[in-house]
Amino acid sequence: MKFVSLTIKTIGLAAAIAGFTASVNAANETAADRTKPIGEVCMAGDPCAAAAVASAGTGEARSGEQVYSTKCFTCHATGAAGAPKLGDAAAWAARLSERGEDGMYQSAIKGFKAMPAKGLCMDCSDEEIKGAVDHILANSK
């Protein structure tokens, strides 16, 4: 009987060690996930790594296309939340005829219904936002 109980204890200890090792591995994986380069984490929808680099760099204004493709496209490429899609000429023509180009700029800068102010690009200047609007409009005719 003593032998059996010793074996059970040994198995128990082995299981505990195995469990510990597994949880250490899990912890390592989480740490690895957390320390993934920004580019990998952001890549799915938003090349935010590129945006961060662009704005941290020389301080030069980003082009309309850069702002669009890092900030606006998450909604305006997919139509998320009812956003008019880039390339949808009819949708943009209707908005333009109601509010004009200046109205588009104002909506983009200040927000408009489900459109968040500056498309959530809080470090974008008004000029950069206007450039992004121009980029959208130029590609939606």
The rounded distance, in Å, linking the Cα atoms of 122 and 119 is 8
Q: Which residue is nearest to ligand HEC (CB)?
A: 119
Minimum distance, C-beta of residue 121 to ligand HEC, in the bound complex (Å): 5
41, 42, 103, 125: which one binds ligand HEC (CB under 6 A):
103
Residues 6+ apart with CB under 8 A from 62: 51, 54, 55, 70, 124, 128, 131
Among 8, 120, 11, residue whose Cα is nearest residue 67: 120
Pick 39 or 82: Cβ nearer ligand HEC: 82
Minimum distance, C-beta of residue 42 to ligand HEC, in the bound complex (Å): 14
Minimum distance, C-beta of residue 116 to ligand HEC, in the bound complex (Å): 5
Encoded tokens for 9: 């204890």
Only one residue has tokens 């104002």, namely 106
Of residues 25 through 84, those in contact with ligand HEC by CB under 6 A are: 67, 71-72, 74-76, 80-84
Pick 47 or 119: Cβ nearer ligand HEC: 119
The rounded distance, in Å, linking the Cα atoms of 9 and 15 is 10
Q: Which residues bind ligand HEC (CB under 6 A)?
A: 67, 71-72, 74-76, 80-84, 95, 99, 103-104, 107-108, 112-116, 118-121, 129, 132-133
